[in-house]
C-alpha cells in the first residue's frame, strides 16, 4: 500500500480534523452535529491547543463539564490522522489520548456524547455527575473549558483541589475561564452563556467569576505553574486559557 500523503500545512490538517471530529455526531441527531460543526470551527480553543502543542501525546484525559464530548472526538480524529502518517510538521507535537473520561451534569449531553462517540476506538467513557461530588479518576491531563463559573468560589477551590490530587506528579490542567476584570468582555460571555444554556433546554443558574489574577493566584496556591493564553482574538469575549502544570517530585 502507498504511504498516505502528509497534509500540506496545518490549515489543511485542521480542515480534515474538523470534518473527522464532526462526523460521528451525525448519528446523535441534527442538533448535535450542527453544534459540533459550529463550535469546533468558531471557538479558537480547539485548534489553538494543537497549534501550541498543549495536549501531551498519549494522555489519560479527564474532561470536566465535557458537554457532548468534543474534546474526545477531536482527540480520536488526531489519533486517526497520526495513524495515517498525515500529522503536519508545522504542529509542535502529536496530540493524542490513550484514555478519556468525560464528566457532565446534563443527561441530554451525556446521551448525545454516548450516541456519537462510545463506539470510537478511543472508547471514551462518559459519566453523568456533578463535578463537585464526582470521584475523579487518575489522569495526566485535565481539561475544564468554560465550566467552573457555574459553581461558587468555595466549590471552585474544592474541584481544583480534587483535580490536583487526581493528576499525576507532572500532570497538566487546561482551564478556560472568563476574566472578570475585563468587564465588557466578561458581561458578553455571561450573556451568551445564558442564551446558549436556555437554547440547550437547561435552567440558567447564577454564575461566579474571578479576575484573571485571582485565578492565577488560586492555581499557584495549589502548586501549579501557570501560563495564561488570551482566547478573545476575533471574539467579543474575555476568555483566557490557563495552562497549569504540576511539577511535584
Secondary structure of the chain: what % helix, strand, coil (to 5)?
A: 45, 20, 35
x/- string (CB under 6 A) for ligand SAM, residues 19-38? --------------------
Closest residue (Cβ) to ligand SAM?
65
What is the rounded CA–CA span in Å between residue 15 and residue 12?
5
**Nearest residue (CB) to ligand SAM, 12 versus 157:** 157
DSSP state of 210: B
Pairing of strands 97-104, 59-64: parallel
Work out how close the CB of 205 gets to ligand SAM at its nearest, in angstroms, rounded to a whole number: 8
What is the signed CA dihedral for 127, 110, 101, 23, rounded to 10 degrees?
A: 160
Closer residue to ligand SAM, CB minimum distance, 117 or 151:
151
Which of positions 135-174 make contact with ligand SAM (CB under 6 A)?
Answer: 145-147, 150-151
Give the Cα separation of 141 and 61 in Å (integer): 5
- Closer CB to ligand SAM, 234 or 249, in the complex: 234
SS (H, E, C) 99-110: EEEEEECCHHHH
Least Cβ distance, residue 34 to ligand SAM (angstroms): 14
Integer Cα distance of 247 and 224 in angstroms: 7
Q: Which of 99, 127, 132, 226 binds ligand SAM (CB under 6 A)?
A: 132
Site string for ligand SAM, 49-88 (x = CB under 6 A): ----------------xxx--x------------------
Amino acid at each position: 500500500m502507498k504511504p498516505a500523503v502528509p497534509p500540506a500545512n496545518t490549515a489543511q490538517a485542521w480542515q480534515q480534523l474538523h470534518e473527522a471530529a464532526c462526523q460521528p455526531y451525525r448519528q446523535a441527531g441534527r442538533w448535535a452535529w450542527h453544534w459540533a460543526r459550529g463550535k469546533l470551527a468558531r471557538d479558537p480553543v480547539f485548534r489553538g491547543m494543537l497549534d501550541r502543542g498543549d495536549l501531551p501525546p498519549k494522555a489519560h484525559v479527564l474532561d470536566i463539564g465535557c458537554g457532548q464530548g468534543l474534546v474526545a472526538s477531536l482527540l480520536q480524529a488526531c489519533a486517526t490522522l497520526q495513524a495515517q502518517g498525515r500529522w503536519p510538521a508545522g504542529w509542535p507535537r502529536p496530540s493524542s489520548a490513550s484514555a478519556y473520561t468525560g464528566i457532565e451534569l446534563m443527561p441530554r449531553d451525556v446521551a448525545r456524547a454516548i450516541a456519537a462517540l462510545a463506539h470510537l476506538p478511543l472508547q471514551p467513557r462518559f459519566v453523568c455527575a456533578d463535578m463537585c461530588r464526582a470521584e475523579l479518576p487518575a489522569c495526566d491531563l485535565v481539561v475544564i473549558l468554560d465550566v467552573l463559573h457555574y459553581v461558587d468560589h468555595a466549590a471552585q477551590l474544592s474541584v481544583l483541589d480534587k483535580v490536583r490530587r487526581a493528576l499525576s506528579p507532572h500532570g497538566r490542567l487546561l482551564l478556560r475561564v472568563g476574566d472578570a476584570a475585563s468587564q465588557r468582555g466578561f458581561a458578553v460571555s455571561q450573556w451568551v452563556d445564558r442564551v446558549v444554556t436556555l437554547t440547550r433546554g437547561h435552567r440558567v443558574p447564577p454564575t461566579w467569576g474571578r479576575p484573571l489574577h485571582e485565578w492565577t493566584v488560586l492555581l499557584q496556591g495549589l502548586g501549579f505553574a501557570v501560563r495564561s493564553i488570551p482566547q478573545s482574538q476575533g471574539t467579543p469575549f474575555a476568555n483566557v486559557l490557563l495552562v497549569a502544570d504540576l511539577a511535584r517530585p
